[in-house]
């Protein structure tokens, strides 16, 4: 993925580097750049396997545009497109040596059809070419990541639906705080993952724009049609560009206007990795909670998401979730690595950018896998309702409910807080509350509130039922939250389908255009 100026009119024969045996060694570098100890250091050919198919599609779109514009003859375009099909069948491993996949594919085309193959690179640079290939591939990765976030949200919603009334302890600072429900806990993470989904959709909209035609950075002298290549490759912005709910047929091509910006910018990669890192942080929180819950016998993970000790046969370890938790560090490292690579680069192309995509590929792969594992672990986990209920009131977790009850019956909340705090130190039951009221207020508790109401406030299930403010854990309020989660899921699934269909439609349309020439 390296820099090259557009070969405006230069013949392929002039650019072919010959060895003594006459075999083609490359189509870009001249004799003084044909070898040396730094060749392997400069090469990205192995890493470029990830964008091999993307490069072929970008080549096809560019060649078709050149033919339509009369820049390349139709018969030459047909021969080039036929060669590209053959190269795709043979695969990345069959490519000749080269600095990158772009050079290797061009060399392979020339080897098949002769110097006319060099016309495929007219009016472009490897700068705008690689930028297009990266965008073409990373948009697919982002859609895969979105799909895993949706699957995770579905798993969380299913747990919430099944456990609307399953009481559990809630914690702050890992100390017993207030009783809640498993459904309330699950939906708290569904909301966070929903925002992760939205961030990825927004990143997609800025990824799916076409840099082709920017050339090295200063455009080209040829009368190219940048909108046409954008259309052929499905660069239509996407849902974050105002096309949500718009059919594939109605979407229009989106071109990055400034040619220097088009060829050199990698902010779309940074935004993608940042969004993935945010999601990995959400996953890490889910994993940590489940690890703690498993330790306290609140939840039992499926054997498929656990392991045992090599020496202690009684152990059931939440190993997969520990690795999910660790991926947040990998993703944060990807953000830092990519940010540092991009920091302070002068404008237009710099070879540093060859190292930028590594951070993106590693991050997207790790986070997608972690998201899939988290979804599977949640979907197959068994919640211990008895253990959860038994622990829900531990640590006088209903204390706030009692204080709220006293405040609702006329006491200043701070006075009610003092009464309950004293009761917490002396038994945390009705008698302790009554004694504390006498100490602080000079009167028994039943002078202020019905004893039955106090007893209800002390019960974890009753306490949860009274917390019916918007977004609270009361079962009927959770039902509303669950409906909202399902509506958002349906909307995002539809958007994902529409976006994927738009890409497939563009791919099919490009294939039809290719078939007109081959």
H or E segment to which residue 180 belongs = strand 175-181
3-state secondary structure of 396: coil
Beta strand pairing status for 382-383 and 299-300? Answer: antiparallel
Instruction: Please indicate whether residue 173 is annotated as part of the active site.
Output: yes
Q: Look up residue 317 and give its DSSP letter.
A: B
Q: Which of 94, 307, 309, 491 is catalytic?
A: 309
Q: Return d(Cα 344, Cα 363) in angstroms, integer.
A: 22
Q: Return d(Cα 453, Cα 462) in angstroms, integer.
A: 10
Q: Return d(Cα 122, Cα 53) in angstroms, integer.
A: 20
Instruction: Please indicate whether residue 309 is annotated as part of the active site.
Output: yes
Q: Which of 173, 264, 371, 447 is catalytic?
A: 173
Q: Look up residue 23 and give its DSSP letter.
A: -
User: Which residue bears the tokens 């965008």?
Assistant: 135
Q: Name residue 300's beta-bridge partners.
A: 382
Angle, alpha carbons 210-213-219 (nearest 5°):
135
3-state secondary structure 291-308: HHHHHCCCEECCHHHCEC
Q: Are 278 and 368 in contact (CB under 8 A)?
A: no
User: Which residue bears the tokens 């709220």?
Assistant: 404
CA distances in angstroms from 494 to 128, 347, 503, listed in the order given: 32, 39, 14
Query: Which active-site residues does the annotation give?
Result: 173, 309
């Amino acid at each position: 993925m390296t820099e090259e100026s557009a070969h405006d009119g230069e013949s392929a024969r002039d650019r072919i580097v010959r060895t003594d045996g006459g075999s083609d060694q490359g189509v870009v570098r001249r004799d003084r750049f044909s070898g040396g100890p730094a060749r392997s250091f400069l090469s990205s050919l192995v890493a470029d396997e990830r964008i091999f198919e993307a490069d072929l599609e970008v080549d096809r779109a560019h060649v078709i545009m050149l033919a339509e514009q009369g820049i390349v003859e139709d018969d030459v375009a047909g021969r080039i497109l036929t060669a590209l099909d053959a190269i795709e069948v043979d695969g990345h491993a069959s490519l000749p040596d080269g600095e990158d996949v772009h050079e290797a594919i061009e060399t392979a085309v020339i080897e098949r059809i002769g110097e006319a193959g060099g016309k495929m690179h007219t009016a472009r640079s490897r700068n705008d070419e690689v930028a297009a290939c990266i965008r073409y591939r990373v948009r697919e990765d982002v859609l895969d990541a979105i799909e895993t976030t949706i699957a995770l949200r579905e798993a969380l919603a299913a747990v919430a639906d099944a456990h609307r009334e399953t009481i559990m302890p809630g914690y702050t600072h890992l100390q017993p705080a207030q009783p809640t429900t498993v459904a309330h806990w699950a939906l708290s993470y569904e909301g966070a993952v929903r925002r992760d989904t939205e961030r990825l959709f927004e990143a997609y909209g800025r990824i799916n724009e076409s840099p082709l035609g920017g050339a090295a950075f200063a455009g080209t002298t040829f009368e190219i049609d940048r909108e046409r290549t954008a259309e052929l490759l499905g660069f239509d912005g996407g849902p974050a560009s105002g096309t949500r709910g718009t059919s594939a047929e109605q979407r229009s091509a989106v071109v990055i206007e400034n040619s220097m910006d088009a060829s050199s910018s990698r902010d779309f990669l940074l935004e993608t990795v940042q969004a993935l890192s945010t999601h990995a942080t959400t996953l890490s929180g889910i994993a940590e909670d489940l690890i703690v819950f498993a330790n306290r016998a609140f939840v039992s993970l499926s054997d498929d998401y656990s392991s045992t000790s090599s020496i202690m046969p009684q152990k059931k370890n939440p190993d997969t979730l520990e690795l999910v938790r660790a991926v947040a560090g990998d993703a944060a490292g990807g953000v830092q690595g990519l940010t540092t690579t991009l920091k302070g680069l002068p404008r237009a192309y710099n070879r540093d950018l060859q190292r930028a995509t590594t951070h993106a590929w590693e991050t997207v792969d790790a986070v997608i896998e972690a998201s899939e594992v988290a979804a599977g672990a949640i979907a197959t986990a068994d919640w211990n309702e008895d253990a959860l209920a038994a622990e829900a009131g531990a640590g006088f977790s209903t204390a706030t409910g009692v204080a709220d009850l006293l405040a609702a019956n006329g006491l200043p909340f701070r006075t009610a807080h003092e009464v309950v705090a004293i009761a917490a130190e002396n038994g945390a039951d009705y008698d302790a509350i009554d004694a504390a009221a006498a100490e602080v207020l000079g009167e028994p508790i039943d002078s202020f509130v019905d004893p039955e109401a106090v007893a209800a406030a002390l019960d974890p299930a009753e306490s949860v039922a009274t917390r019916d403010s918007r977004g609270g854990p009361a079962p009927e309020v959770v039902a509303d939250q669950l409906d909202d989660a399902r509506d958002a899921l349906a909307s995002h699934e539809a958007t994902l389908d529409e976006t994927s269909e738009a890409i497939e439609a563009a791919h099919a349309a490009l294939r039809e255009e290719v078939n007109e020439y081959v």
